[in-house]
Amino acid sequence: MLQLNKLAFIGGGNIATALIGGLVARGFPGARIAVADPNATQCQKLAKEYGIAAGGDLELAVRAADVIVLAVKPQLMRAVAATLRALLSSPPPSPHPLLVSVAAGITHASLRTWYGASVPIVRTMPNRPALIGVGATGLYAPPGVADAQRDCAEAIMAAVGATVWVDHETQIDTVTAVSGSGPAYFFLLMEAIEAAARDLGLPAEVARVLTLQTALGAAQMAGQSTETLASLRDQVTSKGGTTAAALAVLDQADLRGIVARAVRAAEQRSAELAAEFGGA
């Protein structure tokens, strides 16, 4: 990353801001970052906070960039590609800059059609906790993308949390269903636990603190442990105890089956959205 002469972002919204903040915090010079975004207020904010070049001129932002992060909404990606492809091909840079897409639902096939088969492209799927630096991002690149380019894309996304690679692009739909949509599943569970605690008589603030801290503690224990989730669950569950009574109710309600069906539905919807947004 430190060997990059210039890193450009097309779009200066939430995920771009999080990535820029994470990269600068890790020592990447803000002077080597450029952003193109039509929102003048956002550009001024980014320039002031991180010492980067930010403005509405897309051509200026991408000029001489080694890597370009495509951080616009999916429905805008095709229009951006039409403009950016012309800039990248006249005169053609040598070598082509690496393109890193963070747009949900835009397939590599569509990106390759829009930008040309010779342009190296990495597709990524970050999730919302990336906005506070604790995200999970899935990455996919076809065989033609060099190892150094893969490493570079991973280093950029690692600025906002954990990263994983998938071997097949269709697995990005599963990543979307698990980590992209996943925070909402946990928010729903926490919401239900908090409501149950209030119904049983705990003050609202007490219910909230206990729910959130328990979720945080469980996640941190799982992250720091080498044991399986099933083993950790068993350690909390005494035979005939309170936890066993609660888990019996969840088992009777087929919680595992419900979760499996929910994740499968999210995966299928991700594939449908990819067809809607990414049609070449």
Domain total in the chain: 2
The SS3 assignment for 70 reads strand
In a shared domain, residues 195 and 153: no
CA distances from 58 to 35, 81, 135, 255 (A): 8, 11, 28, 49
Are 65 and 97 contacting, i.e. CB atoms less than 8 angstroms apart? yes
In a shared domain, residues 69 and 30: yes
Is residue 161, in this structure, part of any structural domain at all?
A: yes
Instruction: Look up residue 223 and give its two tokens.
Output: 């992250």
pLDDT score for 14: 94
Is residue 1, in this structure, part of any structural domain at all?
A: no
CA distances from 198 to 188, 201, 205, 209, 211 (A): 15, 5, 9, 12, 11
pLDDT score for 248: 97
In a shared domain, residues 66 and 88: yes
Are 22 and 49 contacting, i.e. CB atoms less than 8 angstroms apart? no
Percent above pLDDT 70 for the chain: 96
In a shared domain, residues 166 and 190: no
Last residue of a domain, one of 150, 172, 194: 172
Last residue of a domain, one of 142, 172, 202: 172
pLDDT score for 279: 53
Is residue 276, in this structure, part of any structural domain at all?
A: no
pLDDT score for 34: 97
Rounded CA-CA distance 89/115 in Å is 9
Is residue 25, in this structure, part of any structural domain at all?
A: yes
In a shared domain, residues 25 and 121: yes
> If phi over 0 gives left and psi between -120 and 50 gives alpha, with beta otherwise, what is residue 227?
beta
- Quote the distance between the C-alpha of residue 87 and its chain's center: 27
Rounded CA-CA distance 146/151 in Å is 9
pLDDT score for 4: 86
pLDDT score for 273: 85
pLDDT score for 72: 93
Kind of pairing, strands 135-140 and 121-125?
Answer: antiparallel
In a shared domain, residues 40 and 127: yes
Is residue 277, in this structure, part of any structural domain at all?
A: no
Rounded CA-CA distance 153/238 in Å is 45
Is residue 79, in this structure, part of any structural domain at all?
A: yes
In a shared domain, residues 68 and 150: yes
In a shared domain, residues 156 and 51: yes
Q: What CATH number does the domain containing 25 carry?
A: 3.40.50.720
Are 20 and 9 contacting, i.e. CB atoms less than 8 angstroms apart? yes
Residue keyed to tokens 């350690």: 235
Rounded CA-CA distance 99/118 in Å is 11
The SS3 assignment for 146 reads coil
pTM of the predicted model, to two decimals? 0.91
Is residue 118, in this structure, part of any structural domain at all?
A: yes
Is residue 275, in this structure, part of any structural domain at all?
A: no
Rounded CA-CA distance 162/274 in Å is 24
In a shared domain, residues 164 and 203: no
pLDDT score for 280: 45
In a shared domain, residues 156 and 187: no
In a shared domain, residues 141 and 258: no
Question: Residue ranges of the chain with pLDDT lower than 50?
Answer: 280
Last residue of a domain, one of 172, 204, 226: 172
Closest by Cα among 278, 105, 233 to 181: 105
Q: What CATH number does the domain containing 190 carry?
A: 1.10.3730.10
Strand-pair partners of 124: 139
Q: Which residue segment(s) compose the domain that 223 sits in?
A: 182-270
Model confidence pLDDT, tens digit, residues 113-170:
999 888 999 999 999 999 999 999 999 999 989 999 999 999 999 999 999 999 999 9
In a shared domain, residues 15 and 147: yes
